[in-house]
A and B are shown apart, each in its own frame.
Chain A
Amino acid sequence: MNIDKGVSDRQGGGPAARLPADGGSKARSGLGQRGPGSPIEFRLDPASGVPTYLQLVHQVEHALRLGYLKPGDQLPKVRDVVALLAINPNTVLKAYKELETKGLAAGRPGQGTFVQATLSQVALPELTALRRSLLGWLTAADGAGLDEDGIVALFASALRDFHERRGGPADRGAGGETEHIA
């Protein structure tokens, strides 16, 4: 039988028919079928204890900060995220709604969700330069005998000093997921 014909027939068949049109060529991985892409792809960390929709939100924000995502870029389509991660579509929708509430993304009917604002304060070339000088500093710290925990502690402490000297609000930094309610 002609399978590809079956697929294309279905595609003309109505709004519910949205099987990928490349028939058997993708075989099992056809489940991970991707549209014309988004610059990023999601992953899940089951051990993090962070709710799934928040993990997606954080990953978009992270990508915005680092310049992987720019205004106008498309976020992964809901269907693609569902296929890739086997998560509930409502979870993806909730994450995108949260990003819309934050003003970072906007839905376009029939097309998907697109980045609307940026979180990165500096452009990609500057980021690259800053990263390079940070790597130099890390090499020096490593040479002086600091281990990773020591480096993180020193950086956090220096950042705190920096904020205090500027008199700005002491940034709480990337806090843990624990809520302390007192």
Chain B
Amino acid sequence: MLKALFLGFLLLSLIFFSGCVNNQTISKGNTTNLTTEELENQAIAEIEKEMNHAIENMSTEDIENLITE
């Protein structure tokens, strides 16, 4: 029983430790500004994806209706 508890504790420590390592990897080697820029790039890419997708859905019929209304 004690052995199982010890193993469980060891595994949980591993989980927390892996989280710390991952967070460190993200910030490692990057200044705060660069990280912000990277995040901004990511945001712009998301917006561009949304934009292209929505614009693709604008049919010429919609535009024709607008002009003739």
Bound pair: A and B? no
Residues of A within 8 A of B (CB): none
